[in-house]
Amino acid sequence: MHTAWHRVNAVLTLASTVLTALFAFATFTDSFHKGDVYIFANVTRMDSLRQEPCMDQYYSRRIAKEVCDRARLGFDLQVDLHDEFTWMTKQLFLYVTVEFRTRANKVNQMVMWSHIIEDPKKAVLEGTGLDERYPYVVNDQGSGMRGRPFNLTVAWNIMPLVGVLRTRSQTFTGFRFPDEYTPQPATRQFGERSNRPAAKRAAEAAAAAKASAAEAAAHDEAGEALPMRQLGVYDDEEEEDDGSDWEDSMAVDEEEHLNDGDGGYEADGYTGNHHRDEL
């Protein structure tokens, strides 16, 4: 302390130690905070449960030897998380998981959707419109999904500015996968190989085209817009239910849409790879 530089060194070192202690204390007091949150999640539609080839790699062969169950569902979410924000919160990472149990695996968990909330003013989500978007896909390793009950868990990571990451969640139970597979549509799925002879396939394709053309004509006469299925895009308006009973949406009429609606890309639930299963 006999030189000015000595004193500068001493003061600044002590300041950094005191700053560390200050933030440690601040984080510690913040860990007791538990916000008053409102979460509600519901599965509003269950489009299909099918056995489909599950390919791990993008460049897999067209004929996959493995099949796995794949369910397509839509859910809705209402969230009020503004109370979780404190002076120590940087952001919240909100995500929705589907969990179920099969005979093969005790826990199957898939993240359906996630969202980052950086501001308490943006922490209220209502009418997220998640059930109107493309269906969310749930996979199984194998074929054990029929009739299984599953949970929808809404979880959020609270990321502090300084401190330990915390996770809180709320689980909603009472949902079930369908007991049987969705009946396959009569028309060929896009990219699906068929064992039937070429002539029969051509006849069926022609019949489907004629039927859909007739429907298009009917729609045009009624003055409605061209249905989306003609463009090969997933038809949202087929789901006319009020969202309360998803078993009704399992009824499939003959002219099923050609495309599965996911645009050719799906996130594989457990490997996290993106692959194209029509190729």
Partner 1 sequence: MDYKGQHLAELMGMIMLVLSAIAAFVYGYMYSELKYTLCTFGAGTALTTALVVPDYPWFRKNPLRWQIPQSLLNEEPAGDNQKIGKKPTVRS
Stretch that binds partner 1, among 20-28, 128-136, 167-175, 211-219 (CB under 8 A): 20-28
- Cα-flanking dihedrals φ and ψ of residue 259, to 5°? -105, 150
Site residues for partner 1, window 54-93 (CB under 8 A)? Answer: 86-88
Residues with Cβ within 8 Å of residue 185, at least 6 apart in sequence: 252, 254, 255, 256, 257
Three-point CA angle 153, 133, 59, nearest 5°:
90
Q: Is residue 22 close enough to count as binding partner 1 by CB under 8 A?
A: yes
Three-point CA angle 194, 198, 201, nearest 5°:
65
Q: What is the SS3 assignment for 110?
A: strand
Specify the amino acid at residue 133.
R
Tell me the C-alpha distance between 274 and 52, whole Å. 15
Stretch that binds partner 1, among 23-31, 49-57, 236-244, 263-271 (CB under 8 A): 23-31
Stretch that binds partner 1, among 13-21, 176-184, 191-199, 220-228 (CB under 8 A): 13-21
Residue 166: CB minimum distance to partner 1, A: 17
Give the nearer residue to partner 1 in terms of CB position, either 64 or 161. 161
Residue 157: CB minimum distance to partner 1, A: 19
Residue 116: CB minimum distance to partner 1, A: 19
Residue 55: CB minimum distance to partner 1, A: 48
Number of residues that bind partner 1 (CB under 8 A): 21
Beta partners for residue 48, in sequence order: 72
Token pair, residue 200, equals 């029969």
Site residues for partner 1, window 152-211 (CB under 8 A)? Answer: 161
- Count CB atoms within 10 A of the CB of residue 202: 11
Stretch that binds partner 1, among 25-33, 95-103, 165-173, 188-196 (CB under 8 A): 25-33
What x-and-dash track marks residues 90-129 binding partner 1 by CB under 8 A? ----------------------------------------
Tell me the C-alpha distance between 85 and 28, whole Å. 15
Long-range contacts formed by 240-243: CB under 8 A, 24+ apart: 241/45, 243/42, 243/44, 243/45, 243/76, 243/131
Tell me the C-alpha distance between 117 and 203, whole Å. 53
Applying CB under 8 A, which residues contact partner 1? 1-2, 4, 7-8, 10-12, 14-15, 18-19, 21-22, 25-26, 29, 86-88, 161
